[in-house]
C-alpha cells in the first residue's frame, strides 16, 4: 500500500510537473483532460515555497511523503520556477507520451481527494 501510494504520488507529481503535487501530492473520476487533476496548481502563480507551506498545512501526510522524496521535491521546485504556460505545455507533452501513467493516476480511487487537496493548496498558497 505504501509503495503504491509512493508510486502514485510520484506519478502525479511528475504528471503535474508538480510534482504535486504534488507531487504535490491523489484522489476517482477519470476526466477527458489529464490536466484536470493538477490544474489548480498547474495554473497557480504561487512560488514553490508558498505551495510547500500550504501543502504542509492542508495535507501534512502528503507533504511528508514529498519531503521523503527529495529528488521529486527538487524536480517539483524546478517546475514551479517555470512560467505557467511552460508547465502546462510540459504536462500536456508528458501526458501524450505516457498515457498509461496519466490514466492510472486519473483512475486511482484517491484521485478526487488529491484534486481537492491541490485545490485547497492553490486557494490558500498566496497566504504563505
CA 83 to chain centre: 16
pLDDT at 22: 38
Question: Distance between CA 53 and CA 47 in Å, rounded?
Answer: 10
Question: Domain locations in the chain?
Answer: 44-127
pLDDT value of position 25: 38
User: Which residues fall within 8 angstroms of residue 25, CB to CB, at 6 or more apart?
Assistant: 9, 12, 13, 16, 18, 19, 55, 59, 62, 66, 114, 117, 118, 121
pLDDT for the residue numbered 24: 37
Rg over alpha carbons for the chain, rounded to the nearest Å, is 13
Report d(CA 111, CA 70) in Å as an integer. Answer: 23
Identify the pLDDT of residue 39: 83
Tell me the pLDDT of the chain (128 aa) as tens digits. 445 455 545 545 544 444 334 333 333 334 445 567 788 888 899 999 999 999 999 999 999 999 999 999 999 899 888 999 998 888 888 878 888 877 777 777 877 888 899 899 999 999 99
Task: Please state the φ and ψ torsions of residue 106, each to the nearest 5 degrees.
Answer: -65, -35
pLDDT at 13 (0 to 100): 52
At 46, is the secondary structure helix, strand, or coil?
coil
Determine contact, residues 24/17, Cβ cutoff 8 Å: no
Q: Which residues contact 61 (CB under 8 A, 6 or more apart)?
A: none
pLDDT tens-digit series, residues 71-99: 999 998 998 889 999 988 888 888 788 88
**What span, in angstroms and rounded, lies between the C-alpha atoms of 27 and 70?**
22
What the block records as the C-alpha cell of 41 is 496548481
Amino acid at each position: 500500500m505504501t509503495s503504491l501510494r509512493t508510486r502514485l504520488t510520484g506519478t502525479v507529481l511528475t504528471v503535474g510537473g508538480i510534482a504535486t503535487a504534488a507531487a504535490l501530492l491523489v484522489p476517482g473520476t477519470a476526466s477527458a483532460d489529464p490536466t484536470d487533476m493538477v490544474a489548480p496548481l498547474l495554473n497557480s502563480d504561487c512560488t514553490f515555497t508558498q505551495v510547500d507551506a500550504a501543502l504542509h498545512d492542508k495535507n501534512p501526510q502528503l507533504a511528508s511523503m514529498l519531503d521523503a522524496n527529495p529528488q521529486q521535491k527538487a524536480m517539483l521546485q524546478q517546475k514551479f520556477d517555470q512560467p505557467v504556460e511552460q508547465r502546462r505545455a510540459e504536462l500536456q507533452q508528458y501526458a501524450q507520451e505516457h498515457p498509461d501513467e496519466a490514466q492510472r493516476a486519473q483512475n486511482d480511487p484517491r484521485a478526487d481527494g488529491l484534486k481537492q487537496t491541490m485545490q485547497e493548496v492553490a486557494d490558500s498558497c498566496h497566504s504563505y
